[in-house]
Structures are given as C-alpha cells and as structure tokens.
A and B are shown apart, each in its own frame.
Chain A
Amino acid sequence: MKNIISFLLSTCLLLPATSHAQDKFYTKQGRIYFDATGGMEKVEATSAGAVCVLDTHTGAVQFAVLLKGFEFEKALMQEHFNENYVESDKYPRAEFRGQIINNQEIAYKKNGTYPARVKGKLTLHGETKEISCEGNLTIKDGRITVTGDFVIPLADYHIAIPSLVKDKVAQQVKIRVDCLLDALNN
C-alpha cells in the first residue's frame, strides 16, 4: 500500500514536468532570409543559425539570430551591413519574442498545415518594436516547420541608409523565417 501511494505521489509530481518538456520544440539551425532590394541589384542575405523555441502549450515563440551570421553574396555588402547599418559589434543579436494568438486552433498532435497569427516584439539595432505577422505551422511526424513572412521599416530601428545608396536599398525590408523544429526531449 505504501509503495502504491509513493508511486502515485511521484507520478503526480513528475507528470507536470514531463508534459512541460514535451510541449517545447526547438532548432538551432533555423533559416532567416532578408531582402532589402531597392533597385536592380539584389540586396539579400541568409542566416542558417537562428535559434527558435516554441512552446506548443502556451503558444510562446522566440527567435534569436547573430547578425554577423548573415551571409551575403558580395563581401563588401556584408561588411557594410555589419559596420554601417546594423552595427553588429554594438548590437550582435536580433531577437523576437512573441505569441501565437490562435494557438488553440492548432492541433499539434495531428499532421497538417495550420495558419498561425503571431504577435510580439522584435529587437534589432537596440530598438524594440511590436510586430505581427501571419505564417504557417506544418506538423509532420512529431516535427514542426515554422514559416512566416513579415516586413519591417528600417526607420523603426534607426537604421539609416546613406543617400548614395538610397535607391538601391529598400526602406521596407522583407523577412522570411523557415525553421524545422524538433521536440526538446529528443
């Protein structure tokens, strides 16, 4: 009898912690693309090292990316991006903390693609602004692919574009997120 009670007690105590861990999905290999093309020439870059954590229970979602990890086709563009625009020595990371508003509508245990509305705060270049975007969550065999597109105005983040290249760099930057998340306990 004593054994049964202690078993039930330990099960009750451990269960919340276990289900909590199972709710979390993550990657450290998330892809973030941005496109700031304003003219004929492409101004775009990719990072394949974004960290993303999603809590399927609460709908909380978090991204972090090192700005020096963005790779451009042209080295000069990459240098200008780091030194003059985002000042990555001073502000090394960009991060987003937000919430899936319609989290209750997503059946995380069932394969399928679900639209997700996300709202949260993006911190870049030392400035934090509220943003919202629409994306998709694709659930397949216990893994979640998060995709989403949004646009940010550079002026909101105090990123100034020199007048010499004003026609080449867009004032509104398109950002695309593409992350394949695994369960944290894997």
Chain B
Amino acid sequence: MTMKKKKLILLSMFAVVATVALYGFREYYRRNRDLAGIPPDLVIRDTTLLRWFTAGGAGNSYIGHIVQVDGMIRKIEKDEQAHIIVILGASTTPSAVRCSIDSVHIGEIGGWQTGHRVKIKGMLVGFNPDETGLLGSDVELNRCVPEQYTSTTSNQ
C-alpha cells in the first residue's frame, strides 16, 4: 500500500470518527426546540380538541405532536415564578385547554386579555381527566408559542 493510500484511509477514518463524535455531542447536549416557525401537525379549535379527549380518545394520537389551538382566552394564570398559562375554553364548562407559554415567548403575550380570540401552538402533553367532578378536565400543551391575537372580543 502506498503512503498516499495510507494517508487517505487514515484521513477518511478520522473524518468518520469526528463526524460521529460531533453528532453524538450535539445530540447529547440538544435542548428542546423552540416551536416558533415549526409547522403544526394539527390545527384545531379548543372545544373540538377537548371533545376529542372527553368523548373518545381521538386526541391521544396527537400526544407528543405540535398542535395549534384556536380559541377564546378564559383566563391567564401567572405563578410566583412568572410561569404563564393561557387557558382557552368556553365559559360554560370548567374544562379547558391549558397552554403553558414558553418562557422565551412570554413577552409576546403582554397585552393579552380575557375574552379575546387567539391561536397558540404548543406540544400536546396529554389529557388530565377530572376525577373530583369539581375542577373540570384539561388538555395540556407545553412550550407554547403565541401565533395570533385578535384584539376584538368574540362571543362563543
């Protein structure tokens, strides 16, 4: 084997090892993606999404997927650690779609008010059924990103 050939093989091996190591490093330190700019797997109304879980399990197939929900803001909750949840749903039922806002995007919902129509995209975490009969059942979305806010109130 010529010296040139040996060098080529060594160089190729090094390139393969370096690529695998780089991939491994990036994969190991990968953080959860910011969902802004990522197209949703499902676009749906808040009331329909709730129904998909309360009446049958149609919503289960979208758990772990990116879902864009269109609905009316019933309430905005903020805890002591500035974590914000936008609650979407009809006021006639305690059940709701709870959207936990990604901390990176909290500034974008500064002017949001209850009664307004919004579109929010997030990772569908699952469904929390109410076993007490007092609190209402909830569909939960994490790492949510505001998509659209309609500044006129809507009647649902």
A residues sitting closer than 8 Å to B (CB atoms) are 24, 26, 28-29, 31, 48-49, 51, 53, 62, 64, 66, 68-69, 71-76, 78, 82, 89, 92-93, 180, 184
**With A24-B134, A68-B64 as contacts: A75 and B31 at CB distance below 8 Å:** yes
**With A28-B98, A51-B135 as contacts: A68 and B126 at CB distance below 8 Å:** yes
Count of A-B contacts with CB under 8 A?
Answer: 78
CB distance from A131 to the nearest CB of B (A): 19
For residue B32, which residue of chain A has the nearest CB?
A75
CB distance from B35 to the nearest CB of A (A): 13
Give CA–CA (A72, B138) in the complex, Å.
22
**With A28-B98, A68-B125, A76-B30 as contacts: A53 and B63 at CB distance below 8 Å:** no
Whether B23 is near chain A, meaning CB under 8 Å from some CB there, is: no
Q: B79: which A residues are within 8 A, CB to CB?
A: 29, 31, 48, 180
Whether B85 is near chain A, meaning CB under 8 Å from some CB there, is: yes
Q: A71: which B residues are within 8 A, CB to CB?
A: 32, 142-143
Q: B132: which A residues are within 8 A, CB to CB?
A: 53, 62
Size band of the interface chain B makes with A = 20 to 34
Q: Identify whether the interface residues of A are mostly helix, strand, loop, or mixed.
A: strand
B residues sitting closer than 8 Å to A (CB atoms) are 27-33, 63-64, 77, 79-81, 83, 85, 98, 100, 125-128, 131-132, 134-135, 138, 140, 142-143
- Cβ–Cβ contact B85 & A26, under 8 A: no
**10 A-B pairs with C-beta separation under 8 A:** A49-B142, A62-B132, A69-B125, A69-B142, A72-B32, A75-B30, A89-B63, A92-B127, A93-B128, A180-B80
Q: A24: which B residues are within 8 A, CB to CB?
A: 134
| Choice from A62, A76, A92 contacting B126 with Cβ under 8 Å | A92
CB distance from B13 to the nearest CB of A (A): 25
Give CA–CA (A115, B27) in the complex, Å.
44
Give CA–CA (A66, B29) in the complex, Å.
24
Give CA–CA (A64, B128) in the complex, Å.
8
Give CA–CA (A175, B12) in the complex, Å.
48
- Cβ–Cβ contact A66 & B125, under 8 A: yes
**With A74-B29, A76-B30 as contacts: A69 and B77 at CB distance below 8 Å:** no
Q: B63: which A residues are within 8 A, CB to CB?
A: 68, 89, 92
CB distance from A34 to the nearest CB of B (A): 16
Give CA–CA (A64, B131) in the complex, Å.
10
New A-B contacts (12) at CB < 8 Å, excluding given A26-B135, A68-B126: A28-B98, A28-B138, A49-B142, A51-B135, A53-B132, A66-B127, A71-B143, A75-B33, A76-B27, A76-B30, A78-B32, A92-B63
